[in-house]
A and B are shown apart, each in its own frame.
Chain A
Amino acid sequence: MDEKFDAIIVGGGLAGLASAYTLAQNGLEVLLLERGDYSGAKNVTGGRLYVSPVRDLFPDLWKKAPLERFIAHEEVAMLAGERSLTLRYSGNELANEPYQSYSILRAKFDRWFAKQAERKGAAIITKTKVDDLIIENGKVTGVLAAGDELKADVVIACDGAMSLISERMGIRSPGLPKDHAVGFKEIIELDPNVIEDRFGLADGEGAARLFMGEVTKGKFGGGFLYTNKESISLGMVVSIKDLMEDQDVTAPELMDNFKLRPEVAKLIRGGQTAEYSAHVIPEGGYKALSKLFADGLLVAGDAAGLALNIGVTVRGMEYALASGYYAAQAVIAAKEANDFTASKLSLYEKLLNDSFVIKDFKNFKEAPQVLDNPRFFNHYPEFVGNMMKDIYEIPAGSKDRLYPTMKKYMKFGELWAMLGDLRKVMKI
């Protein structure tokens, strides 16, 4: 085909769709290629999208979007061997509009988002994998897909955490275990009434629960649960490095044991698993971000490493949406100037730097290093669990006074180590 596009987008996840939507809205000719049967067919998330930071970038989008439930109740449970401690949080800002975050299912959301981008005029072709970039004189001029040569002024790589496209361009090296986690999850179907009763939810409300401690056997990571309309997303995020180095448990075994924990089992009781999915997650933070642009190429979303793992919550979706949007803005400016060189496209990096995206990454710069400390995932939950047991347990004999109980846990060495960890946490 002699037709040349303004932009070709590789991958129809959130980053790619945000780009396609924004470019089409501004009248550019855009082609998006997605290898799945539909957008979302290959995409996995835990399930919580923070809408607040990206609401204004896509003002028309949210009213009809297929979001599941707005998150009104938060819980973090620290699980030790045989006991657990749960912190529960409900605040006004969670329960009032505009809601801060929602649970979502990607196969539903992405497919719908793709339709919106098509309505704006984007050409979206599914079931088509991009096999290679066309590079002429060091500049990207198009892609090869299923035997077709397709040309464009700019290619935007939005191909997810394992971005073979940016590896191909040489602006990213193959991912390292220390910078990645693996996430796996089950969709467990339950009657909406049961979900609402079990989690104490009012109409439309949803719950988010995080689990840390024994569930990962001390590995960096944790378990998560989000309520959807008619199902629960239950899964885990675990450091690949820890799993492969410890070699004491396999990923599927961790998941089975997680489901068997009484704290979890009672929440999913009677549910039917309907799907099992998994995906790698970039979690190297600011230091592991890859180069964001080259001549004729931009990289957005997970493909650029734009996901953060701050302890047990992963954030990547808002960054994917926002980076897709800013990549589109840079392309629009490049098109106006008819200049698609790296130096012109570097506007993208500037826009990202000024946005919440890179600010967040800088704020959490230390997170991966600090949290890569088994004490957080192993020792503290055990420690706190034991302490609470001693506080709450009424033994057959007399109960110790509270102060000596506490003191037992606050031995000097313990305190010192804790202080050290605390200091590091303050940097996050």
Chain B
Amino acid sequence: MNIVVAMKQIPDLQQIRIRNRQPVFDDVPLTIGDIDKNALEAAVNLKEGTDANIIVLSAGNEDVEDTIKEALAAGADEAFLILDDDLEDAESSQIATILAAGLKKMDDVSLILFGEGSGDNYSGQVGSRVAELMDLPQVGYVSTIEVNGNVAKVTRSLEDVEEVIEVELPAVISVMAGINEPRIPSVTQILKAGKKPKEVLELDDIEIDLGAATIETNSNLAPESDRKKIVVKSVDELVEKLTAENLIGR
């Protein structure tokens, strides 16, 4: 049985700084999104005591080959990568198409895990799109997974209810942030990661039509809000101003 974990390479968000109101990406180290790491940890926990094999699946630019070592060190058994420098800014629908094409090249896949959203854009679409393209059932907002034979029993944690669902495998499951504590690999595991099998394909190898990009990003800055800049000198004055603004004493 193969468990596939889809993981996305993202910039280390803490290292991005803002210069002239623009994010600076130069020299920012690359890593894997935190929620994707939760998905991998869930897979590693599921694998324990079984003969399952964990395949990490990723599409992105050439740097992914290096970045993905993090996943191989943290418990993935092999990597399946589709790399092209054009994929750096690819949008969710295109990535989903590529991942689905990659998945179709694998045998005996019973579970496909995603994080509920990527660490950078958080569009949260790729899992659902892949399920649709592959005609598989999909469950989102998952906090626990148990596999019995060819059925997975999962808990969905929604805002005010928890739903327990059984889903037939193969299925696509998107896990929520923070459902587990991803392990920090040891030096030995990191050293071994470099020797784990990696299958690297180029876009041409999977023969798909990506289609034109359809999304244009205009801005990703926080909206500017005008402040009223009212300065008060005493509590009384504060109360007066807040009342005048209709914020208290209604």
Q: A interface vs B, CB < 8 Å?
A: 1, 3, 31, 33, 37-38, 107-108, 111, 123, 125, 128, 145-148, 150, 189, 272, 274
Contact = CB atoms under 8 A, between A and B. Distances in A.
A37 B187 contact: no
Given A147-B186, A189-B19, A1 B191 contact: yes
A31 B190 CA distance: 12
Contact of A108 (B27, B188, B191): B27
Given A1-B191, A38-B29, A146 B186 contact: yes
Interface string B179-191: 0000010111011
A262 B194 CA distance: 54
Interface in B174-220: 184, 186-188, 190-192, 194
A1 B19 contact: no
Given A31-B191, A38-B29, A150-B188, 4 more contacts: A33-B187, A146-B186, A148-B187, A189-B19
Contacts of B17: 274
Nearest to A143: B187
B188 A1 contact: yes
A37 B12 contact: yes
B191 A125 contact: yes
A272 B192 CA distance: 44
Interface residues of B, number: 13
B49 to A, nearest CB: 23
A147 B186 CA distance: 7
Nearest to A105: B27
B187 A125 contact: yes
Contacts of B184: 146
16 contacts: A1-B192, A31-B187, A37-B12, A37-B29, A107-B27, A108-B27, A111-B27, A123-B191, A123-B194, A128-B187, A128-B190, A145-B187, A146-B186, A150-B188, A272-B19, A274-B19
A125 B190 contact: yes
Interface string B18-41: 010000000101000000000000
B138 to A, nearest CB: 34
A148 B190 CA distance: 11
Contacts of A272: 19
A175 B183 CA distance: 36
Nearest to A150: B187
A365 B184 CA distance: 47
A108 B191 CA distance: 24
B29 A146 contact: no
Nearest to A1: B188
Interface of B: 12, 17, 19, 27, 29, 184, 186-188, 190-192, 194
A6 to B, nearest CB: 14
Contacts of A189: 19
Q: Which 4 A-B pairs have the closest CB atoms?
A: A1-B188, A148-B187, A148-B186, A148-B188
A15 B56 CA distance: 36
B60 to A, nearest CB: 19
A150 B190 CA distance: 13
A419 to B, nearest CB: 52
Nearest to A41: B29
Contacts of A128: 187, 190
A414 B190 CA distance: 65
A148 B185 CA distance: 10
A150 B192 CA distance: 13
A146 B12 contact: no
Contacts of B187: 31, 33, 125, 128, 145-146, 148, 150
A128 B187 CA distance: 8
A107 B29 CA distance: 11
Nearest to B15: A37
Contacts of B194: 123
Contacts of A3: 191
A146 B19 CA distance: 36
A125 B19 CA distance: 31
A274 B187 CA distance: 33
A251 B249 CA distance: 51
Nearest to A275: B17
A50 to B, nearest CB: 25
B72 to A, nearest CB: 13
A189 B190 CA distance: 37
Contacts of B190: 125, 128
Nearest to A3: B191
Nearest to B14: A37
A121 to B, nearest CB: 12
A193 B183 CA distance: 47
Contacts of A31: 187, 191
Nearest to B184: A146
Contacts of B27: 107-108, 111
Contacts of B29: 37-38
Contacts of A148: 186-188
Nearest to A108: B27
A1 B186 CA distance: 11
B27 to A, nearest CB: 7
Contacts of A37: 12, 29
